Amino acid sequence: MTRKFPPPAPRELVVIVDPKAGIRVRNGQVISIFEEYQANAKAMADLILAEHAKIGPLYGVSEELLLERTSKTKTMMGVGQRLDLSIFYKVTAPDEKLKSMVPKLRALKVVQSAYVKPGVELTIKDSIIESRDGLESRHSIESDDGLVAVTITENFLQRHLNSVSEGGMGVPCAWVIAGGKGAGINIIDVEGAWNFSHEDLWVNQGDRLAIDESAERNDSGWRNHGTAVLGVLGGDNNSFGITGICPEAFVRTVSVFGNIEGTPSEWSAGAAIVRAADNLGAGDILLLEHHLPGPNAGFQTQEDQVGYIPIEWWPDNLAAIQYATDKGVIVVEAAGNGNQNLNDPIYNDRDELFPGWSENPFARNEVDSKAIVVGAGMPPVGIVTKDTELADRSREQFSNYGPMVDAQGWGDGVVTCGYGGLGSSTDENRLYTSIFNGTSSAAAMVAGAVGCLHGILRARGSAPLEPLELRALLRRDDLNSAQQIGTFSGNLSVVRIGPRPDLCRLIAELTPPPPPGFLSTIFSLVTAFLRRLF
């Protein structure tokens, strides 16, 4: 049977050490910079050696450099624990040995926690994509001698770009304003693989900031997914195929499978986020298209994805995201397809896995990733279904939900690059789909909307919005298209996935009224003067 989803990334054994121990890894050897902890460091080194394992800083950067980059931050990654990336390490060993090493590592005095983290998976609900409408995407043009000379791609209808009244995000409201197509904005998509040779991804697309020649790069599921996301964000603005929401933004990528300087065993999802953040500035966008099997899935891969949750629940991922948002980078994070109430108390139960300072970030109390978390909503009736009970902007059954979910995008029916099915071509560089889906398509849509907004602000010379400031705007029902209850009973807040962005109203909110003309100014002054006299 064909699997619905691409294979997960390899599992990771994460170790969190005591910040006071001064642990360092030099040339693969564990040491301590403090004399009183050197014996404890040696015990850790001896264990790694005995297990024929390797250890290194999880984020691929030296401890000193990580400390320097966060030395002035006030961001808290736990109660009483300031953001500190230098205490996270990754142990590399054969997968079958990872679980047995956890209790041995936890027994060491310098170790606060050790845990095996599931490999990240893509937030698409089904990657076996075929067009539902069977539209023919191409037609041939014959030359004078009757032979086919060229093949032209049609210009597809992308209704998620349309006005709010038609179920879209009002993208045309942004495109008519300077910067509204994302000019000057950098976006990095963190996932696995992409096809940069696609005919509709030639302009404003960067390259891989970190990827190796791993098997996952050659997996069509990972590659099609990345290609589809790039299409939603920055598909070329031309006369054929599709157009991205912010087609003038500069889009690059970072892979979780490795970088040009290392090997897959030395790389991780958290490291990919940090690498991306180091290549972005305030107001730029970092898109996370992953989820992980959580406690309700037994932390095991599930074919139906039930129990999958946002990646920030794991302390090493949370710290990486906070590192980005602390710089002013806008992180857009898929909520995941696990059909989970993220307000469930089970996510507070962390003591056996993580250090005592670690808190559930879903609660957004003392610890907050400051990411924009995106759920999957139903597209307008007629896009993927004619069932009127499945109301536009109601929650897709698979989408995670809860008070922490900030905004929604279409969870199905998004027309973009990759996969195929929309037309007859089998050339990978000319594949399109009409049903990109999951919190994958939803998060990409919201990231594109943010690209438009920040492009407008940048064109005006205005400062970009801070992550929490932007998140608050996207959560407001009065500035966006409010979520509908659909077939779900009970309080809307219980099944919350947030509103769908309305670029027309958001732009109006961020745009100061034009200064009054000279005559109206004089009239106002005269009127005020006369009122004072009489």
Q: What is the pLDDT of residues 430-461, one digit of tens each?
A: 999 999 999 999 999 999 999 999 999 999 99
Per-residue pLDDT, 141? 34
Residue 117: band (very low, low, confident or very high) from pLDDT cuts 50, 70, 90:
very high
**Number of helices and strands (H, E) in the chain?**
11, 22
| Cα–Cα distance for residue pair 279/281, rounded to 1 Å | 7
Ranges in the chain annotated CATH 3.40.50.200: 138-510
Q: Residue 377 is encoded by which pair of tokens?
A: 């909503």
When comparing pLDDT for 235 and 138, which is higher? Answer: 235
Run of H or E including 98: helix 95-106
- Residue 218: pLDDT band (50, 70, 90) is low
How would you write 212-244 as a 3-class SS string? CCCHHHHCHHHHHHHHHHHHHHHCCCCCCECCC
pLDDT in tens, 120-134: 999 999 877 654 443
Is pLDDT at 178 greater than 90 in this prediction? yes
Instruction: State mean pLDDT over 238-250.
Output: 94
Q: Locate tokens 């031309």: which residue? A: 238
Predicted confidence band of residue 139 (pLDDT cuts 50, 70, 90): very low
Give the single-character DSSP code of 152: E
Query: How far is the C-alpha of 2 from the C-alpha of 373, rounded, in Å?
Result: 30
Mean pLDDT of the 59-81 span: 93
Q: How far apart are CA 274 and CA 277, in angstroms?
A: 5
**pTM for the complete prediction?**
0.91
Burial class from Cβ neighbours inside 10 Å (0-12, 13-18, 19+) for residue 417 reads: buried
389 closest CA partner among 484, 477, 498: 484
Q: Which two tokens stand for residue 233?
A: 């964000």
Local confidence band at 488 (pLDDT 50, 70, 90 cut-offs): confident
Q: Which CATH superfamily is domain 138-510 in?
A: Peptidase S8/S53 domain (3.40.50.200)
Residue 150: band (very low, low, confident or very high) from pLDDT cuts 50, 70, 90: very low
Supply the pLDDT for residue 42. Answer: 97
Compute φ and ψ for 260, nearest 5 degrees.
Answer: -70, -15
Q: For residue 129, what pLDDT is reported? A: 67
DSSP, residue by residue, 305-321: -TTEE-GGGSHHHHHHH
Per DSSP, 457 falls in state H
Where residue 440 falls (left for φ over 0; alpha for ψ -120 to 50; beta otherwise) is alpha
| Overall average pLDDT of the 465-492 stretch | 92
Window from 15-19, 218-222, 302-306 with minimum mean pLDDT: 218-222
Angle between helices 38-50 and 95-106 (to 10 degrees): 160
C-alpha 251/C-alpha 286 separation (Å) is 10
Q: Between the CA atoms of 416, 419, 422 and 423, what dihedral angle is there, to the nearest 10 degrees?
A: 130
Mean per-residue pLDDT for 23-30?
93
For the chain, how far is it from start to end, CA to CA, in angstroms? 86
Q: Is the pLDDT of residue 263 over 60?
A: no
Average pLDDT (327-356) is: 96
Mean pLDDT of 141-165: 66
d(CA 390, CA 388): 5
Alpha-carbon distance of 345 to 82, in angstroms, equals: 24
The model's confidence at residue 521, banded by pLDDT at 50, 70 and 90, is low
What pLDDT, on the 0 to 100 scale, is given for residue 511?
81
- 152, amino acid identity: I
* Cα(105)–Cα(31) distance, integer angstroms: 15
Greatest mean pLDDT among 70-74, 103-107, 213-217: 103-107
Q: Is residue 105's pLDDT more than 60? A: yes
Q: Which of 58-67, 379-388, 523-532 has the highest mean pLDDT?
A: 58-67
Average pLDDT over residues 135-156: 46
State the average pLDDT over residues 219-241.
93
